[in-house]
Structure 1
Amino acid sequence: MVVNKILDADFFIIGTPVYQASITGVLKNLFDHLPIDAFKSKVVGMITIAGTSKHFLVGEMQLKPILSFFKAIVASNNVFIPSKSFNEQNQIDETDIIKRIDNLISELLFLQNKLKG
């Protein structure tokens, strides 16, 4: 089950589209099924995708407090991607966004290595 995979994992990248200025109901439903210590001492990064840059803070304002409630260690280099950044093959070809994703991954690996000593 998904819950067991989350409990067994060391760190995460949570990606979500933004609909109606909010994280998806499916993601919220997943959180509702997790025990309170599901992310305790686990490193988590966030990637949000939205149709407008007006929603760039949804991850910080909605997802980050939920992850903090679950005692996650939330990365600081989280990534917002405007949906217009995807090309016709549904790939990101903007070097700035790719660099931000690489920075997020580097931070997650650094934090995870520090935690595991």
Structure 2
Amino acid sequence: DEAVDAAIAQVAQAKILVLGTPVYRASYTGQLKAFLDLFPQDALRGSVAGLIATGAGAAHALVIDHSLRPLVASLRGLTAAESIYVADPQFPDKTSVPEPIEQETEALARELYALGSGLAAT
């Protein structure tokens, strides 16, 4: 499929990635897994990824450290230390981003920029 091939090429060329997924049954989505399964083993070498996940409750927050970080590492990518997990109760009206989540997003963006700039210099 041309669209999938184009998406793979874009990701392979990126120095900074943001991987986001809803969490259900303590795992990231099958769509994300199926997409990343198409990449060769070292496809993310020289890239840094920011990790974002959402879920119904705080109990699923560990998916970032137990599933997403190893997934990126398996493709030889680096991950930012900062990550974002948002549980449904943190986002009550679903129309505006609460200040704490906005601050976390800004912190992640700053870290990704710093790490991505460092990788680009090598």
| Equivalent of 1:56 in 58, 61, 70 | 61
1:52-101 Cα distance to aligned partner (Å, 9 max, x none): 100011011001001111111110001111123334353322x1111111
Q: Does 1:101 align with 2:105?
A: yes
Q: Tell me how far apart the structure 1 counterparts of residues 95 and 17 of structure 2 sit (CA, whole Å).
A: 22
Q: Tell me how far apart the structure 2 counterparts of residues 62 and 2 of structure 1 sit (CA, whole Å).
A: 22
The residue number in structure 1 matching 2:80 is 75
- Residue type at the aligned position of 2:8: V
| Equivalent of 1:35 in 31, 40, 43 | 40
- Contact 2:28 2:63 (8 Å CA) reproduced: yes
- The alignment partner of 2:76 has SS state of coil
TM-score normalised over the length of structure 1: 0.92
- Residue type at the aligned position of 1:79: I
- Contact 2:16 2:47 (8 Å CA) reproduced: yes
TM-score normalised over the length of structure 2: 0.89
- Structure 2 spans left out of the alignment, 5+ residues: 1-5
Give, in angstroms, the shift of residue 9 of structure 1. Answer: 1.4
- Contact 1:85 1:92 (8 Å CA) reproduced: no
- Contact 2:15 2:120 (8 Å CA) reproduced: no
- Residue type at the aligned position of 1:70: L
CA RMSD for the aligned pairs?
1.2
| Equivalent of 2:17 in 7, 12, 15 | 12
- Structure 1 spans left out of the alignment, 5+ residues: none
Runs of 4+ in 1 over 4 A off after TM superposition: none
